[in-house]
């Protein structure tokens, strides 16, 4: 996909702020530090449009990136920080429920998982949450460049098995460092738009 235009049009905390233009949306989710900002920037060929927005203490928002004036990436705040307060965790949960339960333009979700390690408990919960809402999930295994070629298949298989991946879903390796996997992930996303 050639991205000619990408801009953040809204940082929403609730439904009233979601865009109303009915363009398709692809949600991007993953634990903090998984490489979500790097993924977005690489996919849209920008150095730093997506900031690392999920650090504790920052307002947790759903960030809507309008791409080529035709669809949105919706950056969902990262999960899995140990030091998040109960109140923050509850606010995050409410925001997630509100978005995923009611969002008609949402076509699929990208779930980013760090390819170096087996999925965390939070990753498993997130996958099940997305499947509960019947969403197709593209699992993107990040930081591919950090795994030697001979071990890549094994790491992908662990992710697939631990998630108990549904037949309609896929795991795709990706590196924001080298760009490997980018065209394949775009190809998959395009199928949902």
Residues at the site binding ligand GDP, with contacts judged by CB under 6 A: 30, 32-38, 52, 54, 78, 142-143, 145-146, 175-177
Minimum distance of ligand GDP from residue 155's CB (angstroms): 14
Strands (E), 86-192: 106-114, 137-142, 170-173
Cβ count near 47 (within 10 Å): 7
Return the number of the residue (49 or 105) whose C-beta is nearest ligand GDP: 49
Spatial CA neighbour of 61 closest among 110, 103, 111, 8: 8
Alpha carbons 43 and 191: distance in angstroms, whole number: 16
Q: State the nearest-atom distance from the C-beta of 43 to ligand GDP, in Å.
A: 12
The nearer residue to ligand GDP, 3 or 15, going by C-beta atoms, is: 3
Alpha-carbon gap, residue 174 to 176, rounded angstroms? 7
φ/ψ (deg, to 5) at 171:
-110, 125
Q: Which is nearer to ligand GDP, 67 or 112 (CB)?
A: 112
Nearer to ligand GDP, 54 or 61 (CB): 54
DSSP symbol at 3: -
Q: How far is the CB of 140 from ligand GDP (least distance, A)?
A: 10
CB of 60 to ligand GDP, least distance (A): 13
Minimal CB distance residue for ligand GDP:
35
């Amino acid at each position: 996909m050639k991205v000619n235009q990408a801009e953040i049009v809204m940082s929403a905390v609730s439904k009233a702020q979601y865009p109303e233009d009915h363009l398709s949306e692809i949600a991007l989710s993953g634990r903090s530090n998984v490489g979500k900002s790097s993924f977005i920037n690489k996919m849209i060929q920008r150095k730093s449009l997506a900031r690392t927005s999920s650090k504790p203490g920052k307002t947790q928002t759903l960030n809507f990136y309008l791409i080529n004036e035709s669809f949105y990436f919706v950056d969902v705040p990262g999960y899995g920080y140990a030091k998040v307060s109960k109140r923050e965790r509850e606010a995050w949960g409410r925001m997630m429920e509100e978005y995923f339960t009611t969002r008609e333009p949402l076509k699929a979700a990208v779930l980013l998982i760090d390819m170096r390690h087996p999925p965390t408990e939070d990753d498993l919960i997130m996958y099940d949450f997305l499947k509960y809402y019947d969403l197709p999930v593209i699992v993107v295994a990040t930081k591919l460049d950090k795994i030697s070629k001979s071990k890549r298949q094994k790491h992908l298989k662990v992710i697939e098995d631990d998630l108990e991946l549904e037949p309609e879903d896929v795991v795709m390796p990706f590196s924001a460092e080298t760009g490997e996997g980018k065209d394949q992930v775009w190809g998959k996303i395009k199928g949902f738009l």
